[in-house]
């Protein structure tokens, strides 16, 4: 019977509301007070039943809940024959609970949407080469799967054959489709907009990126911040205190209706629910926009960050070197570039790859007598010509003369933080290229946004030489930049900022070597394209390594923290106003108190829900 009543609370609220309206209509049109009182009594008994059951269950575990206060208030109202108040209070309480549940369900819409995006089936290749549809749980690492246009990709994997465009919004928050071809990585839960591809499964089930996102968001939404834990402790003692005050008022004044009204006015519902709903909505917004916030505590700490420390390579920069500047000293440059490409394609050095990408399509020649000069470069013979490709030291070794213009170019390239690749043919300098890691597009603007959001110090730590680090720092307008730093040096520096200088520090990185720094910082922020270790160690994950999500993440946590304070103010303010109205005026009664109380709960929920649509201005 108890389960049936609790399961049908909404229907009971509807019946109670209909009886109350019917009773008032009968009174106004017929003046029949017996029918009026009868309807209100039945409405009260219907309405109080599920509330009393919840109160009993709470008392069984030694908790004085809001249901206990309302049940006592309704019983008291019956005792003084105030059936009108009893019926309206029970209806408003049940109707308020219905509205709370509806709106709370909406605040959890992000995790609900994510769960619904999870793929349920896959086309798996059998031993005979044909594909059959199976449950996604039956797919194992190494299986070959077929994905058709419009289908969800069921696992994390690599494209074996075919081409197509994939909508990765569920992972990155970015709606623009990403082109995929042989060798490209694909992720579970993303959608193949067009094309047909075959993939091999690398990660399945909960181990996929999508599975981990759902798990992290669920854990985050279930976690509690210090503010929530304080409010839980507060309400644990506050609710019995309200009951005690009400009892004391009745003993001293013998005014039962006043004591009952205090019970209703003192319900801490809005206070208890205000902070959690803000946190859940904030975390939900982050999940939809490619930002994973790992819990309510993270929101509180992140919103107060005053110093951000960045790793350079792969965070502020793209992480792969490219030719940034070139200078030519010959007329037959196309021929020389062909010779250079012929030599570089035989090297696996990162600079060689950058040079080849810069040259593009060209005519290759046979390379002979290749000699690798340690710490210098390569000397080889191409089409009967002696080619030297490397740094200034190699040019000096090969007795290649650098004229005044070439020396000025070398100095200028070095000052810009480039690694130099010089090419000489038969003892004459022909080409100078400056190679450096490129700054991520839009990073400078994103850093300015962080400053506007209140971050006072922007610091870069890198293992690169100080000259290169200084060039990047000047270009980005950073507060400080330190080079030649090992992982332990970075961690020690962050520890110093926190313990000695009292700063609230966030560290942004993407590699295994960043894990100690991510752990030491007040807030560790991992680029989602980085290593699993970095992602697990961090407090915040920027999916798809999208740096532009960082200002949104900081702005969102600040908005969420403000929203929590607003909800606390609303909850406490309403109680104080109602109590003042009760003590110093005659406009507050039990029904009005319950109506305003439920209204305050709805107000804090709706205020929290605003965060679902938050966008950085």
Q: What is the structure's pLDDT at 259?
A: 79
Name the least confident of 42-56, 397-411, 501-515: 501-515
Residue 436: beta bridge partners?
322
193 carries an active-site annotation: no
Does the pLDDT of residue 178 top 90, yes or no? no
Task: Enter the CATH code of domain 279-316+441-555.
Answer: 3.40.50.1000
More confident residue, 196 or 488: 196
Most confident of 234-248, 263-277, 284-298, 374-388: 374-388
Q: Is pLDDT above 50 for 220?
A: no
Does pLDDT of 367 surpass 70? Answer: yes
3-state secondary structure 518-549: HHHCCEEEEECCCCHHHHHHCCEEEHHHCCCH
Q: Which pLDDT score is estimated for 516?
A: 75
Q: Residue 601: which pLDDT band, with cuts at 50, 70 and 90?
A: confident
Q: What number is the average pLDDT over the span 255-265? A: 75
* pLDDT exceeds 70 at position 529: no
3-class secondary structure, 464: coil
Instruction: For CATH 3.40.50.1000, list the domain ranges present in the chain.
Output: 279-316+441-555
Q: What percent of the chain lies above the pLDDT cut of 70?
A: 85
pLDDT of residue 146: 92
SS3 158: strand
pTM score, whole prediction: 0.66
Q: Which of 608, 542, 610, 510 is nearest to 302 (CA)?
A: 542
* Residue 479: per-residue pLDDT: 92
Q: What are phi and psi of 87, to 5 degrees?
A: -65, -45
User: Residue 222: what pLDDT?
Assistant: 54
Highest mean pLDDT among 1-5, 308-312, 555-559: 555-559
Of the candidates 143, 156, 301, 311, the residue annotated as catalytic is 311
Q: 472 vs 117, which has greater pLDDT?
A: 472
18 vs 99 pLDDT, higher one: 18
Most confident of 71-75, 292-296, 521-525: 521-525
Instruction: Kindly report, as residue ranges, where domains of CATH 3.40.1110.10 are found in the chain.
Output: 319-438
CATH code: domain 140-203 is 2.70.150.10
Residue 107 has pLDDT above 60, yes or no: no
Q: Is the per-residue pLDDT at 174 higher than 60? A: no
pLDDT at 531: 46
- Using CA atoms, how far apart are residues 84 and 16, in angstroms rounded to an integer? 12
pLDDT band at 231 (very low <50, low <70, confident <90, very high): low
CATH class of segment(s) 319-438: alpha beta
Query: Residue 197: beta bridge partners?
Result: 147, 162
pLDDT in tens, 442-489: 899 999 999 999 999 999 988 776 777 888 888 899 999 988 777 778
Highest mean pLDDT among 427-436, 520-529, 573-582: 427-436
Three-state secondary structure readout of 209-233: HHHHHHHHHHHHHHCCCHHHHHHHH
pLDDT greater than 60 at residue 533: no
Q: CA 410 to CA 400: how far, in whole Å?
A: 14
- Each residue's pLDDT tens digit, 548-558: 889 999 999 99
Model pLDDT, residue 306: 93
- Please give the mean pLDDT across all residues of the chain: 81
The residues, ordered by sequence, that sit 6+ positions from 346 with a Cβ below 8 Å of its Cβ are: 367, 370
* 482-487: long-range contacts, CB 8 A cutoff, minimum separation 24: 485/461, 487/513, 487/514, 487/516, 487/517
Residues in the chain: 617
Torsion of CA 279, 283, 284, 285, to 10 degrees: 110
- What is the token pair recorded at 19? 């009886």
Domain span(s) for CATH 2.70.150.10 in the chain:
140-203
* Residue 332 pLDDT > 60: yes
User: What CA–CA distances, in Å, run from 287 to 4, 95, 553?
Assistant: 36, 31, 10
Q: Strands of 377-382's sheet, edge to edge? A: 317-328, 428-439, 419-425, 385-390, 377-382, 367-373
Q: Please count the CA atoms within 13 angstroms of the CA of 18 that sit on its side-chain side.
A: 7
């Amino acid at each position: 019977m108890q389960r049936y009543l609790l399961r049908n609370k909404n229907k009971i609220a509807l019946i109670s509301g209909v009886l109350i309206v019917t009773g008032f209509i009968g009174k106004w049109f017929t003046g029949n007070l017996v029918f009026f009182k009868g309807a209100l009594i039945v409405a009260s008994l219907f309405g109080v039943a599920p509330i009393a059951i919840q109160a009993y269950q709470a008392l069984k575990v030694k908790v004085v809940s809001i249901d206990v206060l309302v049940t006592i208030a309704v019983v008291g109202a019956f005792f003084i024959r105030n059936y009108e108040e009893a019926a309206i209070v029970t209806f408003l309480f049940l109707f308020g609970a219905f509205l709370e549940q509806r709106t709370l369900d909406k605040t959890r819409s992000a995790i609900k949407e994510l769960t619904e995006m999870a793929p349920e089936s896959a086309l798996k290749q059998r031993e005979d080469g044909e594909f059959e549809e199976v449950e996604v749980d039956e797919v194992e690492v190494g299986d070959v799967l077929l994905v058709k246009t419009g289908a969800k990709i069921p696992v994390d994997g690599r494209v074996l054959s075919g081409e197509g465009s994939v909508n990765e919004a569920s992972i990155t928050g970015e709606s623009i489709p990403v082109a995929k071809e042989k060798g490209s990585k694909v992720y579970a839960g993303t959608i193949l907009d067009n094309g047909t591809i075959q993939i091999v499964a690398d990660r399945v089930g909960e181990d996929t990126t999508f599975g981990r996102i759902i798990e992290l968001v669920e854990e985050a939404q279930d976690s509690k911040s210090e503010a929530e834990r304080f409010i839980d402790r507060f309400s644990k003692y506050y609710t019995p205190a309200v009951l005690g005050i009400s009892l004391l008022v009745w003993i001293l004044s013998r005014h039962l209706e006043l004591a009952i009204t205090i019970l209703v006015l003192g319900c801490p519902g809005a206070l208890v629910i205000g902070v959690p709903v803000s946190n859940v909505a904030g975390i939900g917004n982050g999940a939809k926009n490619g930002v994973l916030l790992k819990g309510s505590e993270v929101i509180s700490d992140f919103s107060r960050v005053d110093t951000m420390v960045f790793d350079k390579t792969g965070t502020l920069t793209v992480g792969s070197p490219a030719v940034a500047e070139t200078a030519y000293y010959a007329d037959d440059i196309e021929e020389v570039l062909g010779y250079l490409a012929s030599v570089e394609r035989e090297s696996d050095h990162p600079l060689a790859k950058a040079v080849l990408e810069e040259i593009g399509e060209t005519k290759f020649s046979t390379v002979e007598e290749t000699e690798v000069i340690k710490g210098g470069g390569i000397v080889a013979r191409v089409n009967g010509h002696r080619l030297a490709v490397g740094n200034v030291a190699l040019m000096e070794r090969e007795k290649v003369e650098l004229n005044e213009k070439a020396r000025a170019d070398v100095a200028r390239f070095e000052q810009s933080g480039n690694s130099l690749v010089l090419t000489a043919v038969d003892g004459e300098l022909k080409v100078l290229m400056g190679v450096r890691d490129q700054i991520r597009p839009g990073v400078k603007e994103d850093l300015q946004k962080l400053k506007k959001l209140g971050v006072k110090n922007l610091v870069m730590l890198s293992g690169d030489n100080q000259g290169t680090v200084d060039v990047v720092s000047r270009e980005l307008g950073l507060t400080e930049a330190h080079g030649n730093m090992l992982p332990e040096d970075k961690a020690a520096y962050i520890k110093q900022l926190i313990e000695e200088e009292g700063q609230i520090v966030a560290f942004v990185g993407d590699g295994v070597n960043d894990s100690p720094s991510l752990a030491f910082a007040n807030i560790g922020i991992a680029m989602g394209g980085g290593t699993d270790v970095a992602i697990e160690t961090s407090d915040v994950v920027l999916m798809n390594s999208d740096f532009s999500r960082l200002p949104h993440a900081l702005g969102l946590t600040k908005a969420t923290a403000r929203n929590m304070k607003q909800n606390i103010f609303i909850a406490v303010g309403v109680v104080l106003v109602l109590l003042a109205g009760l003590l110093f005026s005659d406009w507050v009664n039990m029904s009005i108190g319950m109506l305003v109380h439920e209204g305050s709960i709805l107000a804090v929920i709706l205020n929290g829900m605003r965060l679902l649509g938050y966008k950085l201005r």
